[in-house]
Amino acid sequence: MLKVGLTGGIGAGKSEVSRLLVGLGAVLIDADKIAREVVEPGTPGLAAVVDAFGPGVLSADGTLDRPALGAIVFADAGRLAALNAIVHPLVGARSAELERTAGPDSVVVHDVPLLTENGLAPLYDLVVVVDATPETQLDRLVRMRGMTESDARARMAAQATREQRRAVADLVIDNDGPLEALEPQVRTVWAGLVERAAAA
């Protein structure tokens, strides 16, 4: 089994690369998706979050009110650390569980947005970074996601720099151009990953 960490800045096109890799045969473990699952109603994760932050973080229907929780934790590093201490171990355990179900010759791609920020590169056999210039990221966030320019810039500034991400990369996929330029690169990367998995 080859464990691959996949990351990239917001708007770089990491989700598109994930989708293409799955189409080629990768087993995808999506950290963001798991982070949502572990705090769904009825989970021990949600109970722990409510215990730590109070019932004000729940919506009327009993689901987690993400904006309310965000307003608490993003204004206070200590509270954010407390939230991470609840959620990260649950995400790690669920990721490991999903990984165990993959075959021995699988290429398991962990889609981890904050891989660089959280120093997670050593957990993987290799790290693939989807890279785009800040100008391209900004354009995509404003044009395709409908963000205001100031919101997009703030989101980008909250993440690792392009240089920091490239420093942990074993492979870089350049996604500055159109989609048709991305696919051949992903196929080439995939062929290399399959080779490495077979050798392992």
Domains within the chain, CATH numbers bracketed: 1-26+106-200 (3.40.50.300), 34-105 (3.40.50.300)
* 82 vs 63: CA distance, rounded Å: 19
Q: Which of 88, 128, 84 is nearest to 108 (CA)?
A: 128
CB 116 within 8 A of CB 10: no
For residue 71, name the pLDDT band (cuts at 50, 70, 90).
confident
Residue with tokens 């398991």: 108
- How far CA 80 is from CA of 58, 70, 72, 95, 169, in Å, comes to 17, 9, 8, 21, 27
Predicted model pTM: 0.84
142 near 149, Cβ under 8 Å? yes
For residue 40, what pLDDT is reported?
Answer: 97
Percentage of the chain beyond pLDDT 70 is: 100
Run of H or E residues at 12: none
Residue type, 42: G
